[in-house]
């Protein structure tokens, strides 16, 4: 039996769990369930990261010791996951004795290999990141993550020879295109590797400054840097180096948010290479959940409690919304209005209506017993082919972490089944007394509904089981696919009549429509009116500035001063707390990617721009926007209320001159 190993980040316990933590862990749970449905033996690891400066400071703020503090917050994570339908195989803590011992073994192995050395270093230390930054890595003198000025610290520490393995890592990523996915994050890591800003990694903290950590095995005056400690959980959690789980499940796959791309995409693979261990199979990177286009923040008071939302709207509806609403890798906006609209359109109107209609007709026409199959018509064959194609797309897309597209491919079948009912008109067949054709139609519908319910199990496990029960069916051989010997859901493709004639079915009303609460209606209307007023103001402003006059002519010498180039967008994301701003990394054919801030977020989705070519003013003097240094300007063309991005009609080399 093949195996599948998936990990979440181990969550830092300086704050309570929120929607972002829930999304990562639910996605990992669905991936584990998906691979179990393919007959693979699975292992799912999650947990908490409990060392470092921030833990000590957080504990001091509430007047307790670090161990008591981490025990309390870690318990909140552990308690939440079952409430969200999450089944992990191990919940690891970096304060677990076996993890601490294995971190020391790993450190000793890398040290014995000659890849750890002692030296004096002066660096810019960001407490929020708990790491040192070089001058090159700072942006306008600020930490690029927290936009705060780091503290300069000069001290003696131990360093990992990460630079030794950077050329190897660059070559490995180039030779394995799906090693980091989606592609935009692969490109971002390559840009870091090519940018010349990465150096050896400081992996210790002197006990004179920080004692809350794992002692270095070769120098007890120092503790291990929190990231070097935390990353090792991915193998300590499966009993590296000698455990059966390690030999069975490693290498596996990691799931992380984009803010921790560098440690997972650069630190971790070079650490594994130094220790002589196989590199993980995939690094799957997702975006942020935004609240009204702003990243969630405790200080802003916009943090969403996942347990409250799941209880209010139903656990499976919540899980479905998260995977369906966010294109994996991109940012997405969370609101209760969006969840209600998605619930009503997909679950109530499409899936719920399908099961309600078919099972009601089967009860009325056949006493709720499954009718026999009959001759296959041309319409039936078309529907069967669509069902097979939908399942093939489901397996392909879900397996490549394109969850939203996978669910959409399944919903193509759900919507087609509703259209098939309207075309076949079972009520007319009943009036005509054509019971043979009537039975064949309902039987085919229920066969397709069974396939749909089976595919939905990873995302909506409780709903899947209820839908199957209503059809008189169960999950194959066992409560969990993964424990069913030799069962693989892919064997359902092209195979029909797996339901026994006469099996009793039930009625269905799983997803009654939700009414939008009055306060949400009022908030939505207020936003709509505000947007309308802003649009009218922009129109009026344009009328005021448009005149018959043109700008004064410039000389050719003036024009020659402009450095206009074509660039390829490597990455694009929203700027936190800024509704209009997008942050670009653009390849202009230089040694380093250009960072450019552009106020076009209201016209373009970030994920749509990655890979496109744009025209850039490359020699515009840098300026700081919202604490971010912008090194150029992207040219746009305005047409009324819309914008377009001028670009070559075909791809040209990055950095090509416009003349």
Residues with catalytic annotation? 18, 21, 126, 129, 143, 146, 295, 298
- Distance between CA atoms of 12 and 8, rounded to whole angstroms? 12
**Collapsed DSSP state (helix, strand, coil) of residue 416:** helix
- Distance between CA atoms of 443 and 481, rounded to whole angstroms? 25
- Distance between CA atoms of 40 and 21, rounded to whole angstroms? 26
**Backbone phi, then psi, for 42, in 5-degree steps?**
-120, 155
Tokens of 381: 């064959």
**Collapsed DSSP state (helix, strand, coil) of residue 582:** strand
- Distance between CA atoms of 56 and 227, rounded to whole angstroms? 16
- Distance between CA atoms of 348 and 352, rounded to whole angstroms? 5
- Distance between CA atoms of 593 and 584, rounded to whole angstroms? 9
- Distance between CA atoms of 432 and 506, rounded to whole angstroms? 25
Tokens of 639: 């047409």
Q: How far is CA 396 from the centre of its chain?
A: 17
**Backbone phi, then psi, for 220, in 5-degree steps?**
-75, 0
Beta bridge partners of 117: 159
Peptide bond just before 251 cis, omega within 30 deg? yes
DSSP codes joined into one string, 515-567:
PPPHHHHHHHHHHHHHHHHHHHHHHHHHHHH--S--PPP--HHHHHT--EEEE
Q: Name 395's Cβ contacts closer than 8 Å, sequence gap at least 6.
A: 38, 489, 490
- Distance between CA atoms of 284 and 278, rounded to whole angstroms? 17
**Collapsed DSSP state (helix, strand, coil) of residue 164:** helix
The structure tokens 């079972």 sit at: 426
Peptide bond just before 417 cis, omega within 30 deg? no
Peptide bond just before 3 cis, omega within 30 deg? no
Q: Name 577's Cβ contacts closer than 8 Å, sequence gap at least 6.
A: 294, 295, 300, 626
Q: Name 246's Cβ contacts closer than 8 Å, sequence gap at least 6.
A: 235, 238, 239, 240
Residue 202's closest CA among 233, 223, 222, 225? 225
Q: Name 57's Cβ contacts closer than 8 Å, sequence gap at least 6.
A: 127
b (16+ CB within 10 A) / e for 157-172: bbbbbbeebbeebbee
């Amino acid at each position: 039996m093949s195996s599948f190993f998936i990990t979440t980040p181990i969550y830092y316990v300086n704050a309570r769990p929120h929607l972002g933590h829930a999304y990562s862990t639910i996605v990992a749970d669905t991936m584990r369930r998906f691979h179990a449905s393919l007959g693979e033996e699975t292992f799912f690891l999650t947990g908490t990261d409990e060392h470092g400066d921030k833990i000590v400071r957080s504990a001091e703020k509430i007047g307790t010791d670090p161990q008591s503090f981490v025990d309390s917050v870690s318990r909140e994570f552990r308690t939440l996951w079952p409430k969200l339908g999450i089944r992990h195989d191990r919940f690891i803590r970096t304060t677990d004795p076996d993890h601490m011992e294995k971190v020391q073994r790993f450190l000793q192995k890398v040290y014995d290999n000659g890849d750890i050395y002692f030296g004096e270093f002066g660096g810019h230390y960001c407490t929020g990141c708990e790491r040192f930054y070089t001058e090159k890595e700072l942006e306008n003198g600020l930490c690029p993550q927290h936009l705060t000025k780091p503290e300069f610290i000069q001290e003696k520490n131990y360093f990992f020879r990460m630079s030794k393995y950077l050329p190897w890592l660059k070559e490995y990523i180039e030779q394995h295109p799906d090693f980091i996915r989606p592609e935009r994050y692969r490109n971002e890591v390559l840009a870091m590797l090519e940018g010349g800003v990465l150096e050896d990694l400081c992996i210790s903290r002197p006990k004179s400054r920080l004692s809350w950590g794992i002692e270095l095995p070769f120098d007890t005056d120092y503790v291990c840097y929190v990231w070097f400690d935390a990353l090792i959980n991915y193998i300590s959690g499966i009993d590296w180096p000698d455990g059966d789980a390690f030999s069975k499940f490693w290498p596996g796959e990691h799931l992380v948010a984009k803010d921790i791309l560098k440690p997972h995409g650069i630190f971790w693979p070079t650490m594994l290479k130094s220790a002589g261990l196989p590199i993980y199979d995939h690094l799957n990177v997702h975006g942020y959940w935004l609240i009204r286009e702003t990243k969630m923040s405790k200080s802003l008071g916009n943090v969403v409690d996942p347990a409250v939302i799941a209880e209010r709207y139903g656990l499976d509806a919540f899980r479905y919304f998260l995977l369906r609403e966010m294109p994996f890798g991109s940012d997405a906006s969370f609101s209760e209005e969006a969840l209600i609209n998605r619930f009503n359109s997909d679950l109530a109107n499409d899936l719920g209506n399908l099961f309600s209609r078919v099972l009601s007709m089967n009860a009325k026409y056949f006493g709720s017993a499954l009718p026999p199959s009959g001759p296959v018509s041309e319409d039936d064959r078309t529907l069967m082919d669509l069902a097979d194609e939908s399942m093939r797309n489901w397996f392909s897309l879900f397996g490549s972490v394109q969850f939203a597209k996978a669910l959409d491919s399944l919903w193509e079948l759900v919507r087609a089944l509703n259209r098939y009912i309207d075309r076949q008109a079972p009520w007319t067949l009943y009036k005509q007394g054509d019971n043979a054709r009537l039975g064949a139609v309902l039987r085919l519908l229920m066969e397709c509904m069974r396939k749909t319910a089976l595919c939905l199990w990873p995302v909506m496990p409780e709903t899947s089981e209820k839908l199957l029960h209503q059809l008189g069916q169960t999950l194959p051989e066992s409560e969990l696919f993964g424990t069913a010997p030799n069962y693989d859901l892919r064997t359902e493709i092209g195979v029909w009549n797996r339901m026994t004639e006469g099996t009793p079915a039930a009625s269905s009303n799983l997803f009654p429509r939700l009414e939008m609460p009055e306060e949400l209606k009022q908030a939505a209307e207020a936003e709509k009116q505000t947007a309308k007023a802003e649009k009218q103001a922009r129109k009026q402003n344009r009328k005021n500035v448009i005149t018959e006059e043109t700008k004064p002519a410039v000389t050719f010498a003036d024009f020659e001063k402009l450095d206009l180039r074509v660039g390829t967008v490597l990455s694009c994301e929203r700027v936190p707390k800024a509704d209009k701003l997008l942050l670009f990394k653009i390849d202009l054919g230089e040694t380093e990617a250009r960072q450019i801030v552009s106020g076009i977020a209201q016209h373009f989705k970030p994920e749509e721009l990655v890979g496109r070519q744009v025209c850039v003013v490359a020699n515009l003097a840098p300026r700081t926007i919202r604490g971010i240094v912008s090194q150029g300007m992207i040219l746009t063309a305005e047409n009324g209320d819309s914008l377009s991005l001028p670009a070559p009609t075909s791809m040209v080399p990055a950095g090509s001159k416009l003349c």
